[in-house]
Amino acid sequence: MDRILDRFKGQQWPIAAGLAVLLAVELLRLTGGGPTDALVWLLTVPACGAAVMASRYRTPSLVVATASIFVTTIAASMFRSYPMSLLSPISIAETAACMWIVAVTVRTASVRASAVTIAVLIAVSTHAALVRNTWWWRSDSEVAGAVLLGILAIGTGLYLRMRDRERERLVATAVIGAQREERISLARELHDVVAHHVTGMLVQAQAALEVSDEDPQAAHRLLPGIVRSGTDALGAMRRLVGTLRQGEIDMATTDPGADVLALVERTRELGLEVRARIDLPAGLQPEVGRSVLRLVQESLTNVHKHAVAPTMIEVELSRVEDRLRVVVSDDGRGGPVQAGGYGLVGMRERVDLLGGHFEAGPAEHGWQVTAELPLEGAK
């Protein structure tokens, strides 16, 4: 059941198809009837159309459906042409439309709004029972059936509401987990980078200490190197602080350009054509180089996972003023599916912690990931 709901989530055509079938059945019943019967049937169509749009325009849909049922009731009384009904004082299609409006309102609106919607639809249905002269309440079975239909509509809305809340909780947990994993990876990089610089500072400081008595000038010449190492370490800490160190080790070298080309070659081996334009400045900070590698790797992985029938992937790394621009795009279909991926959450988290800018979404032909990383501190 959940899989079926996920497949049709956000789509109006299933409810539209169902209501169209009911309207067709009622129309077939009018075969041989007069123009007034066709007119009354036609007046029930707006209520069904309102139900189709209820998920997007809840209040206008309620107003249109109520007005449609009211006008149909007046017309049916004037022409003495009553639409086919079952377990309800209104027609079968109108009943289904009202049930869907109730379910959508209970699912998405507050308790007060849901109560108002239910009360309005009960009132217009009761008016129809009196004016259309259906006298449905005289049959205990019909009264019980109408109550069951109402309970079914409310129960459906409550089920979907609880399901949406559970899904939101799971998504929030997954997003937090993805952010935590990305911060863990960044913390590992922080350890590696800072440890490298601090080790260099210690070596130079020890050397300066050893020669300071015999050659003060030599000790003085070592001080700028210590300052540079300390500045680089503080820059890395400023960009990557606030995470915990644990997790797997990234397979990255000191040549990010070569690492990106290796990823491109592996993608080509899988049968996809890749165009790569790589123009990396010299002396990238290790955390920036590793982030570039991670962004390209995750973007190429998303193409394999989510893009439908891609034929071309373009990878562009270039310098724009004081920033490094990373663009990965493809010409496949399926951008909205990619939008829900937790890999995008990790990429955004990484770029944000580095003080950069990240965007991902459908492009003119397929899907595009764009990131800009600051080059502050590049040698």
**Residues in contact with 156: Cβ distance below 8 Å, sequence separation at least 6, in sequence order:** 99, 103, 106
CA-CA distance, 115 to 126, in Å (whole number)?
A: 16
Confidence of residue 340 (pLDDT cuts 50, 70, 90): very low
Chain centroid to Cα 219, Å, comes to: 58
Place of tokens 């592996």: 266
- Length in residues, the chain: 379
CA-CA distance, 225 to 349, in Å (whole number)?
A: 33
The residues that bridge with 294 in the sheet, in sequence order, are none
pLDDT tens by residue, 258-309: 888 888 887 887 677 889 999 888 778 777 888 888 888 888 888 877 777 7
Nearest Cα neighbor of 307 from 356, 369, 257 is 369
- Helix residue spans in the chain (DSSP H): 2-7, 13-29, 35-43, 45-52, 58-79, 92-108, 111-131, 140-211, 216-240, 256-269, 286-306, 335-338, 342-353
- Mean pLDDT across the stretch 217-227? 76
pLDDT of residue 326: 94
- Is residue 129 scored above 70 in pLDDT? yes
DSSP of 102-132, one letter per residue? HHHHHHHS-HHHHHHHHHHHHHHHHHHHHHT
Q: What is the dihedral of CA 98, 104, 105, 111, to 10 degrees?
A: 120
Say if residues 27 and 92 touch (Cβ distance below 8 Å).
no
Q: What is the DSSP letter of 321?
A: T
Query: Tokens for 201?
Result: 């500072």
What count of other Cβ atoms lies within 10 Å of the Cβ of residue 320? Answer: 9
Q: Which amino acid is at 98?
A: C
**Given CA atoms 198, 199, 200, 202 in this order, what sign does their dihedral have?**
positive
Say if residues 290 and 279 touch (Cβ distance below 8 Å).
no
**Residues in contact with 375: Cβ distance below 8 Å, sequence separation at least 6, in sequence order:** 281, 284, 288, 319, 322, 323, 324
Kindly calculate the radius of gyration of the chain based on its CA atoms and give it in whole angstroms. 33
Which of 17-26, 220-229, 247-256, 337-346 has maximum average pLDDT?
Answer: 17-26
pLDDT tens by residue, 172-201: 777 777 767 767 776 666 666 666 667 667
127-136 burial code (b ≥16 CB/10 A, e <16): bbbeebebeb
- Mean pLDDT across the stretch 28-48? 79
Q: What are phi and psi of 161, to 5 degrees?
A: -65, -45
pLDDT of residue 91: 83
CA-CA distance, 206 to 219, in Å (whole number)?
A: 10
Nearest Cα neighbor of 52 from 37, 40, 68 is 68
Q: Which residue has the higher pLDDT, 183 or 69?
A: 69
Confidence of residue 64 (pLDDT cuts 50, 70, 90): very high
